[in-house]
Amino acid sequence: MLPVNLKRHLLETATLVAAAVLCALVSNALAPRDGKLALVGSYPNATTVPTPAPTAGPVRIAIPEDSSKPPPSLPFSEKSAPAAASPPATGRPSPSDLLERFPPHPDKPFVEVSGAEVALLHASRALVLDARRTKVYEEGHIAGAKSVSVWEGDVDTKVLALLNEGRDLAAPVVLYCSGGDCEDSHLLAQKLFGAGFNNVRVYKDGWPDWQKRHGASATGPEK
């Protein structure tokens, strides 16, 4: 049998550990949005690599057309853009051309892309996600980008919301952060891959490179 003093010591230790865990959970729940710690999410594809099923033809991406507005033009010069298939008369690649240029990669979480490739994807209205903290995002971001900070407590909720929108998981998705040594976009790519997205493109040079290229930008929250 354990000595009385040892039993008392173990009981006091267990009580202190339980109290510390409870205080940490309460503090995280009451913390501001950009101060919350992200809890572990649950994704349907987190531990397995999806096997692409054979299809009778190319996967199609649904790109909304707005005939009341002229198509956006590339924000960079033709010299900086990579060679690609000839775009249709609308000024944007067709869905099949876009998939041929940026095919899905179900065997790995992400593929890094250059600023010129991001310009093409942005002009084609591909989904763009900003992995930086919300406060930094609102100070300036790629026009049309959604804020999905990998360090904020609602990151899993936002990822699952994207999944529940019924998006084509084979369509290209662009992620970016602050460039250089910033790994936020790579961490977010892992989460998206776990949720089933298999065509994630990480803009390694990120926001600083986009500014240097004078790409379309915006401030504040996106509506």
Domain ranges of the chain: 1-30, 35-47+94-223
State how beta strands 111-113 and 200-203 pair: parallel
Q: Which residue shows structure tokens 């929250």?
A: 221
Return the pLDDT at 9: 72
Q: Which fold has domain 35-47+94-223?
A: Oxidized Rhodanese; domain 1 (3.40.250)
pTM here is 0.63
**CA dihedral (17, 23, 27, 28) positive or negative:** positive
Q: What is the pLDDT of residue 31?
A: 62
Q: Hey, what amino acid is at 132?
A: R
3-state SS assignment for residue 176:
strand
Q: What is the pLDDT of residue 85?
A: 41
Residue 176's DSSP bridge partners are 130, 203
**214's tokens:** 């004078």
Supply the pLDDT for residue 7: 72
Q: What pLDDT was estimated at residue 195?
A: 94
Over the chain (223 residues), what is each successive 10-residue block's mean pLDDT?
68 77 68 58 51 47 48 45 42 80 96 97 96 97 97 95 93 96 96 96 97 96 81
Residue with tokens 């869905």: 95
pLDDT at residue 16, as a whole number? 77
Q: How far apart are CA 153 and CA 36, in angstroms?
A: 5
C-beta separation of 146 from 137 below 8 A: no
> Which residue reads 């084509």 in tokens?
168
Tell me how far apart the alpha carbons of residues 159 and 162 are, in angstroms, rounded to a whole number: 5
